[in-house]
Structure 1
Amino acid sequence: MSFASAPLGRRERNKQEKLDRIIAAAAALFAEHGVDEVTTQQIADAADIGTGTLFLYAKTKGELLLLVQNTHYAHALDRGIAAAETEPDVLDAITAVVAQVVACNRVQVDNGRTYLREMVFGDPTEPRHRAALTIVNRTEAAIATLLQRDPRIPVADTATLAHVVSAVMFLELSVTANIGATPDALTARIREHVRALLPR
C-alpha cells in the first residue's frame, strides 16, 4: 500500500499557480520600486489576475510583502544555520546566522524595514504574520542552540539570551540611523553587542 500524498486536484493546482504568479509579480515589483511605490493593481496586472482575486490571497500590501519576504527569510535562516555548523567558536557561529538574516533584510532596505514593521505591528493571527513570527522563533531557537555550546552559560538562560540577540538584530535593522549601513557594517555592530552578552 502506498502512502504517497495524492496529487493536487485541478482547483488546488489553479490556486497554487495563481499564488506563485502573485508572489513572483510582487517580488519583482517590490525589488524594482520598493513596497511603498507599488500598487495592488500593478501586482494584480503583473500576475494576470483581478484585484478581487488578489485580495483573496492577501488583503494588504503588507501581507503581500510578508508573503514574499517570509520565503526569503526562511532560506536565509537555513543558510545561516548551515554556515554556523562549520564555526566552532560560539560568537562566530552566531555571527554566521546573523550575517545571512542581515543580508536578506538589506537586499532592498525600505522593503526590509517595512517587513520588520509589519512583523511587529501586524495581526499575529493572520497567517502571513504568524509565519513571520515562526521564522523569528526559529531564529531564536537556532541561536539558543549555539549558545548551549558554551558551558559557562546556564542552559536555562540560553533562550533569554537568544531573545536579546534577536531583539538587538531587529533593532539595528530597523532604526533610521542605519539606513545607509552596509550588511557587513550592521553584522559587525550586532556582533559587538553579542560579544558583550557572552561570558568572558
Structure 2
Amino acid sequence: MKPQSGSVGRREKAMADKRKRILDAARSLFAERGVSRVTTQEVSERADIAIGTLFRYAATKAELLIMVQNEKFRAAIDDGLAASGSPSLSGASTEDQVMALLSPVIDCVREQPENGRQYLHELVFGDPREQHRSAGLAEAWRLEASIVDLLRMLPDVDQHAHTALARVITAIIHVTMTATLHLDDTPEEVKAVVRSQLTAVLRSPARTGG
C-alpha cells in the first residue's frame, strides 16, 4: 500500500526540520568551542534529538563538521564568483580576479582556524564516497573549475595548462590554510602568502614552456 502524499510531505518536513536543528546546534557549538572540544552527545542535546537520530544524519563528528562547513564553503564560493565577476574588476589582472575569487573562501576557512583545517583535512583524506564529503568535494571541484575559467584570460598559456595551473593554485591554498606555520596568521596574512605564491606561479616563464 502506497503512503499517502500528505504523510510523505509531513515526513520530509520533519526530516528537514531535524537536519536544520542538527546543523544549527553543531554550527553554534563548533563556533563556540572548536570541533575538538565538542561531542556528538552535546550536539544531540542542543538539537533536542536522540543521539541515534543524529547518527542517521551524520555518523561521526567529522561528518557533522563537513555538513556545517559545506554550507559555508558553498556560500563563500558563490561570494567569490560574484566578486571576481564584478564590473569593478573589469580590466583587472588575472591575479586580482583570482584573489577576488579566493578571498571569501580564505575568510570562510580561517573564520575558526581549527574547524577550517580539520574540514580541509577530512575532505582530502576521508572516504570520498561518503555523502557529505562527496558534496564538499563537488564544491572544491567547482572552485577549481572557476579558477580555470579565470586563467583562460591569460593569452600566453597553453590551453591544456589551465587545469594544471588551477590544481597548483588550489594546492597552494590548501597547504597555506592547513600548515602549522600559518596557524596563527590572520586571514589577511594568509591572503598575502597565497597572493605571493600565486604571483610566482602565474609569472613564471616555466608555465608557458619559455
Give the TM interval when normalised to the shorter protein: over 0.9
Deviation at 1:199, TM superposition (A): 3.7
Number of residue pairs the alignment of both structures matches: 194
- Separation (CA, whole Å) in 2 of partners of 1:107 and 1:28: 13
How far apart, CA to CA, are the structure 1 residues paired with 2:158 and 2:78?
26
**3-state DSSP of counterpart to 2:42:** helix
Q: 2:170 aligned to 166, 173, 179, which one?
A: 166
- Aligned residue in 2 for 1:24: 24
Shift of 1:150: 1.2
User: 2:51 matched to which residue of 1?
Assistant: 51
Give me the CA root mean square deviation.
1.2
Q: Stretches of 4+ moved more than 4 A in 1?
A: none
Structure 2: 5+ residue runs without aligned partners? 1-5, 205-210
Asked if 1:140 is matched to 2:144, the reply is yes
One-letter identity of the residue aligned with 1:190: V
The 5-angstrom pairing of residues 1-200 of structure 1 reads: 9-86=9-86, 87=89, 88-199=92-203
Paired with 1:183 and 1:155, the residues of 2 have a C-alpha distance of 32
Report the secondary structure of 2:68's partner residue: helix
Which deviates further from its counterpart, 58-67 or 148-157? 148-157
User: Does the CA contact (< 8 Å) of 1:152 and 1:199 recur in 2?
Assistant: no
**Post-superposition offset of 1:188:** 1.0
Could you tell me which runs of 5 or more consecutive residues in structure 1 were left unpaired when the two chains were aligned.
1-5
SS of the residue 1:9 aligns to: helix
